[in-house]
């Protein structure tokens, strides 16, 4: 039974003078069309619906039919990893529906885009949640009306018990969908979910291979992000490569996005880390002896068998990276494996979706999108980030530079705020800028599910290795 026929049914029962408008159908007032329009304009301005796509996964959340059509195009673009561009959306509207309503919608959106103010920062998601709640109330009201109609005009098999069961199950389904997006989950439900997760068999997430880091952050858990931060040329890529190799050797699929090195250079560095042979020898830039070459060949064969895919790009947006990660996920699945870790080297080289935004907002958006990637694909995302020059200005004992702090991560505070874990790698330099003859520090500055700490590490730059001092962190 449609909502329209249900409305007629309610009108016939209630009489002409008791109900009017939306109340005739027994529905609560529909969502404010202005709120729906504000959400759509926000998505067009931001060129993305990532901020609230999990809240509004269906066009049914929009009560206004023309807005449903517009949001359907945005959803399709988002799910295919494309940037939402107003010109492309308008072209699709005109091409997909030649009726006057499509052209009227294009004019309405175009005028509103120019005339209406943008939503304040942080307002879009709460507004989307409210649209979702109103949509849920409409669903519950429609369900109740249908059950009432069938009570007066039963179908075959309808009994009081079956109708009541349908009503309870339908309301529970709507309630759970709201809880999933708004976070309003009862303590009882949360306890049941936790108990179920304890009982469910699950594979252990890979570990970093560095004992102190593993004690602090535990493992590279899915739906989590870790930032590795350091000043230029300190060795954050070396650390990321070591963690990637450790995860791959434990069977987790690794998708390594390199925005500054080609495949050959990165592969040579990883084989060097595995074999202990100078990376320049492996890359063919320096002669080596027979033993070195034999070790390089042996470990190159091992490296080729690892579940690790390298994706080099000089210009990639987070949407590009998301599509690449999905391809890697399918590739690993076809071989009986699973994608576990995505590495982005580094965040400052990711091409922004909106080049007109201030730089700190571009980086903040990339950081948020990295979290969304981790959540949607169920993987651990490892982000590399630069520390700013202020970190070099503070001097400690003997004039050596001191370790950077989280607030000194370059370009945006959001990088550290969004991350579940933050690792800061520091190799001290003396006043002349040369590496100081001391061990480097690896600081676990943030661990959402663990504890902070630090350890001394030795960086072997010639063979692209990093090892914790006083611990057997290797896997040779």
The CATH number assigned to the domain holding 101 equals 1.10.860.10
At 146, which helix (H) or strand (E)?
A: helix 124-152
Q: Taking residues 118-147, report their average pLDDT.
A: 78
User: Rounded to whole angstroms, how far apart are CA atoms 37 and 113?
Assistant: 10
pLDDT, residue 473, reads: 41
Residues 286 and 417 in one domain: yes
187, pLDDT greater than 60: no
* Together in a domain, 72 and 219: no
Same domain for 55 and 100, yes or no, is yes
φ, ψ (nearest 5 deg) of residue 441: -115, 140
pLDDT at 167: 72
**Identity of the highest mean pLDDT range in 50-64, 111-125, 329-343, 397-411:** 329-343
Range of the domain at 90: 31-193
- Residue 126: predicted pLDDT: 84
- Of 159, 193, 227, which residue is a domain's last? 193
Q: Taking the alpha carbons of 322, 326, 331, 332 in that order, is the dihedral positive or negative?
A: positive
Confidence band for 359, pLDDT divided at 50, 70 and 90 = confident
Q: Is residue 331 part of a domain?
A: yes
Does residue 5 lie within any of the structural domains? no
| Strand-pair category, 224-230 with 421-426 | parallel
At residue 244, the pLDDT reads: 93
Which tens digit of pLDDT belongs to each residue from 138-158? 777 777 777 777 777 788 888
Q: Which of 139, 165, 193 is the last residue of a domain?
A: 193
Position 200 in a domain: no
Asked if the structure places residue 137 within a domain, the reply is yes
Residue 78 lies in a domain: yes
Residue 3 in this model has a pLDDT that exceeds 50 = no
pLDDT at residue 469 is higher than 80: yes
- Higher-confidence residue: 316 or 121? 316
439 and 325 belong to one structural domain: yes
Residue 75 clears pLDDT 80, i.e. is over it: yes
Domain shared by 263 and 145, yes or no = no
d(CA 84, CA 102): 18
Q: State how many domains the chain has.
A: 2
Q: Share the mean pLDDT of the chain.
A: 77
* Residues 129, 226 within the same domain: no
Residue 322 lies in a domain: yes
Q: What is the pLDDT of residues 280-316, one digit of tens each?
A: 888 888 887 888 888 888 888 888 899 999 988 878 8
428-444 per-position pLDDT tens digit: 766 666 666 567 889 99
Sign for the pseudo-dihedral over CA of 145, 151, 155, 159:
positive
Phi (first) and psi of residue 186, to 5 degrees: -70, 160
Better pLDDT: 391 or 55: 55
Q: Tell me the CA distances in angstroms from 279 to 208, 246, 387, one per residue in order.
A: 22, 18, 26
Same domain, 181 and 227: no
- Is 325 within a domain? yes
Comparison of pLDDT for 49 and 133, the residue scoring more: 49
List, for residues 205-242, the tens digit of each pLDDT value.
889 889 999 888 888 988 899 999 988 888 889 999 99
Mean pLDDT of 271-275: 88
User: Are residues 380 and 243 part of one domain?
Assistant: yes
Predicted pLDDT of residue 340: 93
Q: Give me the CATH number covering residue 268.
A: 3.40.50.300
Whether residue 174 is contained in a domain is answered as yes
> 252: helix, coil or strand?
coil
E strands present in 56-203? none
pLDDT value of residue 355: 80
Percent of the chain past pLDDT 90, that is, above it, reads: 12
Is the per-residue pLDDT at 401 higher than 80?
A: no
Confidence bin at 382 (pLDDT 50/70/90): very high
Percentage above 70 pLDDT, the chain? 79
Residue 308 C-beta-side C-alpha neighbours within 13 Å: 26
Q: Output the six-digit token pair for 390.
A: 């202020």
Q: Is the same domain home to 90 and 183? A: yes
CA dihedral 176, 181, 184, 187 (to 10 degrees): 70
Query: Which helix (H) or strand (E) is 5 found in, with range?
Result: helix 3-14
- Are 303 and 452 in a shared domain? yes
> Does 254 score more than 90 pLDDT?
yes
Residue with more model confidence, 224 or 405 = 224
Q: pLDDT grade, residue 74 (50/70/90)?
A: confident
R_g of the chain, CA atoms, integer Å:
28
**pLDDT tier for residue 245 given thresholds of 50, 70 and 90:** very high
Q: Are residues 253 and 157 part of one domain? A: no
Do residues 218 and 337 both lie within one domain? Answer: yes
């Amino acid at each position: 039974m449609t909502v329209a026929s249900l409305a007629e049914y309610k009108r016939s029962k209630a009489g002409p003078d008791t109900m009017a408008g939306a109340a005739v159908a027994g529905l609560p007032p529909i969502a404010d069309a202005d709120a729906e329009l504000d959400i759509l304009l926000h998505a067009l301005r931001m060129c993305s619906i990532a901020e609230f796509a999990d809240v509004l996964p269906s066009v049914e959340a929009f009560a206004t039919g023309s807005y449903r059509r517009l949001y359907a195009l945005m959803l399709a673009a988002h799910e295919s990893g494309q940037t939402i561009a107003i010109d492309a959306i308008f072209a699709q509207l005109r091409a997909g529906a030649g009726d006057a309503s499509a052209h009227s919608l294009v004019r309405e959106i175009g005028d509103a885009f120019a005339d209406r103010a943008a939503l304040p920062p942080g307002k879009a998601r709460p507004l989307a949640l409210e649209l979702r709640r109103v949509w849920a109330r409409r669903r519950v009201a429609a369900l109740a009306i249908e059950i009432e109609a069938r009570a007066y005009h039963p179908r075959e098999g309808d009994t009081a018990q079956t109708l009541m069961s349908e009503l309870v199950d339908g309301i529970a389904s709507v309630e759970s969908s709201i809880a999933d997006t708004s976070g309003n989950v009862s303590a009882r439900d949360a306890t049941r979910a936790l108990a179920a997760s304890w009982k469910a068999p699950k594979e252990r997430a890979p570990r970093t291979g560095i004992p102190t880091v593993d004690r602090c952050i535990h493992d590279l858990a899915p739906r989590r992000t870790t930032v590795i931060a350091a000043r230029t040329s300190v060795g954050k890529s070396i650390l990321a490569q070591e963690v990637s190799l450790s995860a791959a050797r434990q069977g987790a699929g690794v998708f390594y996005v390199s925005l500054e090195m080609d495949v050959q250079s990165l592969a040579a560095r990883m084989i060097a880390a595995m074999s202990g042979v100078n990376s320049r020898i492996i890359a063919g830039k320096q002669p080596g002896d027979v033993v070195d070459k034999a070790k390089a060949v042996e470990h190159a064969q091992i490296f080729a068998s690892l579940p690790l895919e390298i994706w080099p790009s000089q210009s990639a947006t987070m949407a590009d990276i998301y599509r690449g990660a999905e391809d890697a996920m399918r590739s690993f699945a076809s071989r009986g494996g699973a994608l576990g870790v995505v590495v982005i080297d580094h965040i400052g080289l990711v091409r922004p979706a909106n080049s007109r935004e201030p730089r700190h907002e571009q980086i903040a958006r990339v950081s948020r999108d990295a979290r969304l990637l981790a959540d949607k694909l169920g993987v651990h995302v490892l982000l590399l980030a630069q520390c700013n020059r202020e970190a070099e200005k503070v001097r400690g004992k003997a004039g050596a530079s001191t370790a950077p702090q989280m607030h000194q991560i370059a370009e945006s505070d959001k990088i550290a705020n969004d991350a579940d874990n933050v690792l800061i790698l520091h190799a001290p330099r003396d006043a002349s800028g040369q590496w100081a003859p001391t061990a480097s520090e690896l600081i676990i500055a943030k661990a959402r599910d663990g504890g902070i700490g630090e350890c001394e590490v030795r960086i072997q730059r010639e063979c692209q290795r990093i090892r914790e001092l006083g611990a057997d962190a290797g896997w040779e």
